[in-house]
Amino acid sequence: MANILEVKDLCKTYVIEKRQNNVLKNVNFSVEEGDMVAIMGPSGSGKSTLLYAVSGMDVPTSGTVNFDGNNLMKMKPNELSDVRLDKMGFIFQQMYMMKNLTILDNIVLPAVESKKSKENKADKVKRAEELMRKLSIIDVADNDINEVSGGQLQRACICRSMINNPKILFADEPTGALNRTSSMEVMEELVKLNDEGTTIMMVTHDAKVAARCKRVLYIVDGNIKGEYVSPQDANLSQADKERKLNTWLMDLGW
């Protein structure tokens, strides 16, 4: 498959009180269409900074980020904004939603804001409802955001991230604020989306979550120290996959 994301010599440096903090140091990797990649590493290793830099939410200090054939580093802010809205989906640990809107209206909002969509409002609402049925939350469509569980709210965030049919889904600790049951339910939905062809790149500290991904990039002090490719053996249980990944992580100092 073709690469949808190519990252070359990516650096991110912050200057704090005249001192340089090199958060990312010459990072190189690529993501194929249909891939599902987890980014892991110790706290402060640069995981979230990397995710934000390659998704256009933050501006790298140097390097190249090619997404869908375009260099994000050469885009103007308004062009980047359009790319993020129309071609990317985002899920965060904190489930940000508009408090004055219902769950359904929150999901529809990015489609309403999109300049590329030629659909009328009714068609957009219908598509949002289809996504909610798919993720089994259609019964809370008219609820306020404080009237649903954490797991339901994160699934609503997944629906919102998918409303514009993005080419890639970025997730920053998507299960970090959930209990174990809700976490596994959300991961099941993300795996289903990936099985249907959605490319996913996520930051996680949870080996159980990372073991559901096809690849794991391990980052330490702003450098990718290793890459793990999940076994595709159909006879291998999920528990065995988790054990193999944990062994690899421990060998890297996890």
d(CA 193, CA 198): 6
Lowest mean pLDDT among 56-65, 76-85, 173-182: 173-182
Which one has a higher pLDDT value, 180 or 250?
250
Spell out where the chain has E strands.
3-16, 19-32, 36-40, 62-67, 70-71, 88-92, 168-172, 199-203, 215-220, 223-229
Give the pLDDT mean for 81-97: 92
DSSP code at position 89:
E
Question: Is it the case that residue 234 has pLDDT exceeding 80?
Answer: no
pLDDT, position 100: 93
Give the Å distances, CA to CA, from 87 to 4, 120, 228.
11, 19, 27
pLDDT, position 74: 93
Q: Which residue has the tokens 């980047």?
A: 80
Instruction: Supply the mean pLDDT for the chain.
Output: 93
Question: Is it the case that residue 116 has pLDDT exceeding 90?
Answer: no
Question: Is it the case that residue 224 has pLDDT exceeding 90?
Answer: yes
CA proximity to 107, closest of 43, 180, 156 = 156
> Could you tell me the pLDDT band of residue 201, with boundaries at 50, 70 and 90?
very high
DSSP code at position 144:
B
Tokens of 231: 């076994």
Q: What is the pTM of this model?
A: 0.93
Contact 186, 158 (CB under 8 A): yes
3-state helix, strand, coil in the chain (%, to 5): 40, 30, 35
Contacts of 195 (CB under 8 A, 6+ apart): none
Question: Is it the case that residue 65 has pLDDT exceeding 90?
Answer: yes
The alpha carbon of residue 110 and the mean position of all alpha carbons in its chain are separated, in whole angstroms, by 16
d(CA 227, CA 236): 20
Contact 176, 109 (CB under 8 A): no
pLDDT, position 235: 83
pLDDT, position 228: 97
Question: Is it the case that residue 185 has pLDDT exceeding 90?
Answer: no
Q: Which residue has the tokens 């600790």?
A: 173
For the domain spanning 3-251, the CATH number is 3.40.50.300
CA proximity to 38, closest of 252, 187, 184, 163 = 187
Give the pLDDT mean for 108-136: 90
b vs e for 51-73, b when ≥16 Cβ sit within 10 Å of the residue's Cβ? bbbbbbeeebeebebbbeeeebb
DSSP result, 20-82 = EEEEEEEEEEEEETT-EEEEE-STTSSHHHHHHHHTTSS--SEEEEEETTEEGGGS-HHHHHH
